[in-house]
Homo-oligomer: A and B are copies of this chain.
Amino acid sequence: MSTENNLLSIFALGGLNEIGKNMYAIEYGDDIVLIDCGNKFPDESLLGIDLIIPDISYIIENKDRVRALIVTHGHEDHIGGVPFFLKQVNVPVYATSFTLGLIEIKLKEHRILRESELIDINSDSVVQIGEMNISFFKVAHSIPDCLGIVFNTPDGTIVHTGDFKFDLTPENNERPDIHKMAAIGNKGVLLLLSESTNAERPGYTPSEQMVGKNLEQILMKAKRKVIVSTFASNVSRIQQVVNANKKTDRKLALLGRSMVNVAKVAMDRGYLTIPKDMLIEPRDINELPPEMVTILCTGSQGETMAALSRLSTGNFRDVEILPEDTVILAAGPIPGNEKNVTSIVDNLYKLGAHVIYGSGSSSGMHVSGHGYQEDLRLMLTLMKPKYFIPIHGEYRMLHHHRMLAESVGVEEGNTFILKNGDVVDIENSIARSNRTVPNGNTYVDGVDVGDMEFVLRDRKKISEDGMLMIIIPMNKQEDKVLADPEFISRGFVDQNFSELRKGMNRITIETINELHEANRYSWNVMKKQLKRAITQYVKERTRKEPMIVPILMDI
């Protein structure tokens, strides 16, 4: 039974209507527990932005009530915001050993490792925070040691699945805790938050083991070097490459900073086993016969600075792709990356390599880490929640997930399709959503962190039609133009620029004279008028709208 004043509230600060920057919050009375703090990578419209993280102004406002950040697993969309978050809200971080290893790399880079409190948990841990009793269960995904979370509160049980699929034969024998999930469901779940990434795809996700079998066959057949590109964090897949490599007596080199870093964390903490004499340094590759070499590298998403991209254009020191080498893209392209990936495939073919690629699992070299529709139905069936919030997905995914929930017994009206910031409040076991907390995107641009709205607007404008500056040397006291205006452009050009300049010169002088005669001396008015007049003139003549920047120089 609920204590009189305690309200149980659930909301997201990121992860709804988007893939990325996951961050969820459970509030019970005076205590706030946060789940995950991810980033999202900007698309091309966010010119020059490095990262997007959740706007945490609500959390900063309620800093003294925040007790913990629990991280379900180590993917960027779940941990990428952690250093930025901890700099503002320094609370203990709970996660499994592998996840903590990846977080530590980030905290080191941001130089805040020492002052951060990291607490190593596993699926048997129990954490008590205020009146919340928090326990965990293992889920299978595409990175080691992933957790689902159970919040037992006096008002009922809330379950957060983390990212998951039901792989019954995972490479690493870390089977999902199906019995534990069933027990949780039997005791009664008031509300389930479950991830929705593959809610549009029918059937069950294939097992990671499928990739292992195919890898082995390719390695057997290959007559020269084999280059396997995959996500560095997919340790199971790396282990499968190692296993296949052992059977075919090849050496293994790791290329790419994150591949080396993550493999180190995984080996140090017991998640990855590579025989000592298998590993070689990249510079030793050329000393071995090519049929004895396998290379594991980053860049499966077509990232221009990553190893695979540089290999495909012959720009990697020490290593060269040669005719009859085999290159395996053991990862599907994330939506938006298709073009970069296929351009790498083109370049690899030009080098004469055999290339194994394909979207989804069509190449046999990739399976998704996110459950398909039947996986999602199984989770809903095990948990039997009264209320349901589909999370971690674009709107259409949340929509399909709701239909799946209703197909296995969640009552119509009991699924909440939320936006980031929408709060579900539970009182007397009745859930309602009718308030919102501040939320949004925070941009990271070099050392700056903020909303950057007007900076982005300027970049966008200039990127389309360039920029045209009009510099007018004036005497402010006498309101007199001292010399002809100077016109300087960047990213803007016109075939008849000298003629255009003459016209702009005329318009500038006319505009200033008109204002002068009208006794409207304000420089701000003058700038505005100049901007308007020049914009119109340039648009008429060139059909372009560069950003016009009039600069009145007081000399």
Contacts and interface: CB of A to CB of B under 8 A. Distances in A.
A544 interface: yes
A445 B396 contact: no
29 contacts: A43-B339, A44-B44, A47-B463, A47-B491, A48-B465, A338-B338, A342-B396, A346-B395, A347-B395, A446-B465, A446-B542, A446-B544, A447-B495, A448-B493, A448-B495, A455-B466, A458-B491, A459-B463, A462-B463, A462-B467, A462-B491, A467-B490, A469-B469, A473-B473, A473-B555, A482-B555, A483-B553, A483-B555, A486-B551
A471 interface: yes
Contacts of A488: 549, 551
A445 B555 contact: no
B466 A395 contact: no
A355 interface: yes
Given A342-B394, A349-B395, A48 B551 contact: no
B549 A466 contact: no
Most buried by B among A339, A450, A467, A490: A490
Nearest to A350: B395
A17 interface: yes
Contacts of A339: 43, 335-336
B342 A335 contact: yes
A349 to B, nearest CB: 5
Nearest to A48: B464
Interface in A499-555: 542-544, 547, 549, 551, 553-555
A542 B490 contact: no
A144 B232 CA distance: 49
A492 interface: yes
Nearest to A544: B446
Given A17-B346, A44-B44, A462-B467, 4 more contacts: A350-B395, A446-B543, A458-B490, A459-B464
Contacts of A544: 48, 445-446
A473 B483 CA distance: 11
A412 interface: no
A399 interface: yes
A494 interface: yes
A452 interface: yes
A47 B466 CA distance: 9
Copies per assembly: 2
A431 to B, nearest CB: 21
A345 interface: yes
A43 B467 CA distance: 21
A343 B397 CA distance: 11
Contacts of A43: 339
Given A346-B395, A494-B448, A463 B463 contact: yes
A48 B396 contact: no
Contacts of A482: 555
A396 B336 contact: no
A47 B459 CA distance: 11
A521 to B, nearest CB: 20
A349 B184 CA distance: 33
A551 B349 contact: no
A253 to B, nearest CB: 26
Contacts of A346: 17, 394-396
Contacts of A493: 448, 452, 455
B466 A459 contact: yes
Contacts of A465: 48, 446
Contacts of A555: 473, 482-483, 555
A466 B458 contact: yes
Contacts of A343: 394
Contacts of A350: 395
B447 A542 contact: yes
B396 A355 contact: yes
A486 B471 CA distance: 11
Contacts of A554: 483
A43 to B, nearest CB: 7
Nearest to A45: B44
Contacts of A336: 338-339
A328 to B, nearest CB: 15
B345 A396 contact: yes
Interface in A430-466: 445-448, 450, 452, 455-456, 458-460, 462-466
A349 B460 CA distance: 29
Most buried by B among A463, A469, A488, A495: A463
A234 B268 CA distance: 59
A7 B355 CA distance: 38
Nearest to A447: B543
A44 B47 CA distance: 10
Contacts of A45: 44
A462 B489 CA distance: 12
Interface in A316-347: 335-336, 338-339, 342-343, 345-347
A466 B47 CA distance: 9
A349 B396 contact: yes
Interface in A31-89: 43-45, 47-48
Contacts of A399: 349
